[in-house]
Amino acid sequence: MTGRDEIESLIGLMARLPGLGPRSARRAVLHLLRKRTGLMAPLASAMATVAEQARDCPICGNISTGATCEICADPARATGEICVVEDVADLWAMERGHAFKGRYHVLGGVLSALDAIGPEELGIPRLIARIQAEEIREVILALNATVEGQTTAHYIAEAIGPAGPRITSLAQGVPIGGELDYLDDGTISAALRARRSF
């Protein structure tokens, strides 16, 4: 029974990816087996390269394959603005927006007494040190609009203090293309409070 074991263990590993279950992992592996040279071998080698080289950027916490991430390494992005995000996924989402030209600080989570995640775990002292060292003029808190996200935002704002740089947060309102009928009450009332002249 040697022949099948490697394939089964590959299916088992693929099934641990988000968005793939046992059935779709099987289908994906079958697809790979049909395209062994064209897709499977390049994918395996790309994955091995990234697994070996990827590391957390020591400055901002972004994941990258360089010594520092390409955002921290880019002198054009020393704009004096730091965008604080919870997660690398949020950083990637911000980058897809192509609107922010400064640098980031990835918390890697939110404050949580239950999970014993305090300011140290989130690198908040390191953020404060960066703000002074990099002469930051504005800190943009791009945290999720959840209770934990907003608690963390308030903590960071207090830690920076009134003597520090300007602190802003993302606007809350109706998403582009959003239909009022499908929006939750909280978003509608936030959008109404933040209304602007037309």
- The answer to whether the beta carbons of residues 164 and 129 sit under 8 Å apart is no
List the interface residues with a second copy, window 31-70 (CB under 8 A): 31-34, 36-37, 39-54, 63-66, 68-70
Identity of the residue, 65 or 168, whose beta carbon is nearer to a second copy in the bound complex: 65
The one among 58, 73, 115, 172 contacting a second copy by CB under 8 A = 73
List the interface residues with a second copy, window 86-145 (CB under 8 A): 88-89, 92
Residue 27 amino acid letter: R
C-alpha 172, offset from chain centre: 19
Asked if 30 is part of the footprint of a second copy (rule: CB under 8 A), the reply reads yes
SS (H, E, C) 69-125: CCCCCCHHHCCCEEEEECCHHHHHHHHHHCCCCCEEEECCCCCECCCCECCCCCCHH
3: three-class secondary structure by DSSP: helix
Tell me which residue of 111, 94, 198 sits closest to 146, measured CA to CA: 111
Tell me which residue of 56, 57, 58, 60 sits closest to 127, measured CA to CA: 60
Residue 163 to residue 114: CA distance in whole angstroms:
31
Asked if 167 is part of the footprint of a second copy (rule: CB under 8 A), the reply reads no
> Closest separation between CB of residue 67 and a second copy, Å?
9
> Closest separation between CB of residue 123 and a second copy, Å?
16
> Closest separation between CB of residue 194 and a second copy, Å?
28
Using the contact rule CB under 8 A, the part of the chain among 2-10, 98-106, 129-137, 162-170 near a second copy is 2-10
Asked if 188 is part of the footprint of a second copy (rule: CB under 8 A), the reply reads no
Asked if 27 is part of the footprint of a second copy (rule: CB under 8 A), the reply reads yes
Point out which residues bind a second copy (CB under 8 A): 1-7, 9-10, 13-14, 16-20, 24, 26-34, 36-37, 39-54, 63-66, 68-70, 73, 88-89, 92
